[in-house]
Amino acid sequence: MDYGKFKFDEAQKAKESRRKTVNVGVKEMKYRPKIGSGDFDTKTRQVAKFLNEGHKVKLTIMFRGREVFHPELGKKILDRVAETIGDDAKVEFEPRLDGRNMTMVLAPNKKSKRQQAREAAAGEGTSETDATQEAPTNGADAERGEEANAQDENE
């Protein structure tokens, strides 16, 4: 093999490895303490979309004026976002106050995606057989079931 072919092959391998890498960025979503429910839902949906794409999300609560004296309102909103997102994300940095802003960072939870895939695969195979085979829980139920069948046949 000549040197030119070697250099070409190395360049192709490097190009292929760069193409396969995933660029994980940090997206930011800004909230306000007096946010409306519609705006909250819209922004939270965007946060969920970013997390599903594999990005980390920095949530920022911006305080103005006297709002900064009530950081519990900002913490309440950030906790509500984390609760709404649920198992799709894990809290990487807890809410903390930085001057007039309160920030929290969410990272995508890779384990939950794997578990959902496993549950979906396991759920497909067992759901049909479980639904068709219902057994009585004790002997009294079995006797009643047989009596009811005998009565139906007699009528």
**% of the chain surpassing 70 pLDDT:** 70
3-state secondary structure of 96: strand
pLDDT at residue number 129? 46
Q: What is the pLDDT of residue 126?
A: 52
Supply the angle between the helices 71-85 and 37-52 in degrees, to the nearest 10. Answer: 50
Query: Using DSSP, how many helices (H) and how many strands (E) does the chain show?
Result: 5, 4
Give pLDDT, residue 150. 55
Main-chain dihedrals φ then ψ at residue 133, nearest 5 degrees: -110, 90
Q: Which amino acid is at 5?
A: K
Across 91-109, average pLDDT = 91
Question: Which pLDDT belongs to residue 19?
Answer: 80
Question: Residue 58: what pLDDT?
Answer: 94
pLDDT number for residue 111:
67
Q: For the residues 27-45, what does the mean pLDDT come to?
A: 93
List of domains in the chain: 23-111 (3.30.110.10)
The string of pLDDT tens digits covering residues 102-141 is 999 999 987 655 556 666 677 765 544 444 455 455 555 5
- Residue 93's pLDDT is what? 87
Contact 81, 41 (CB under 8 A): no
The 10s digit of each residue's pLDDT in 48-62 is 999 998 899 999 999
Here the tokens at position 13 are 């391998």
Averaged pLDDT score across all residues of the chain: 80
Supply the pLDDT for residue 152. Answer: 56
pTM (two decimals) = 0.59
